[in-house]
Amino acid sequence: MSEEKRGRYYSFYTQLIANRMAQHSKMRRLKSSVGQELINSMAVNFEDISNTMDLSIRNLFLDIANLDTPDVIYYSLLESSWKLQHPIFN
């Protein structure tokens, strides 16, 4: 029975790690081998951590970011002849 039919999740990182094994080993060739099942149990956790880090980076939010520090400051010199008025809201 295939991995998908049994409802097991096979991590992308499992095959990457298994590809480092000897070409003749069953651990490299067969997803159903005990070695790949062991690797997969750790690779799934690694994938979760990797996905969480990627999500944090995509959201541009880091838990350790100092939110009191401005990110961008604009500075401009205006001529003294400019008359500044308060904005009018409708």
In 3D space, the residue among 36, 43, 34, 57 whose CA is nearest the CA of residue 13 turns out to be 43
Question: Can you read off the two tokens belonging to residue 76?
Answer: 């401009």
Residue 79 forms part of a structural domain: no
Q: Does residue 13 contact residue 46 with C-beta atoms inside 8 Å?
A: yes
Inside any domain, residue 54:
yes
Q: Is the pLDDT of residue 65 over 70?
A: no
Question: Domain residues for 53?
Answer: 3-58
- Domain assignment present for residue 52? The answer is yes
Q: How many domains are there within the chain?
A: 1
Task: Decide if 90 is inside a domain.
Answer: no
What integer best gives the mean pLDDT of the chain?
Answer: 80
In a domain, 9, yes or no: yes
Q: Is residue 69 part of a domain?
A: no
**Cβ atoms within 10 A of the Cβ of 5, count?**
7
Inform me whether the pLDDT recorded for 46 exceeds 70. Answer: yes
H runs (alpha helix) in 19-70: 26-29, 34-58
SS3 at position 71: coil
Greatest mean pLDDT range, 23-32, 67-76, 78-87: 23-32
43 vs 88, higher pLDDT: 43
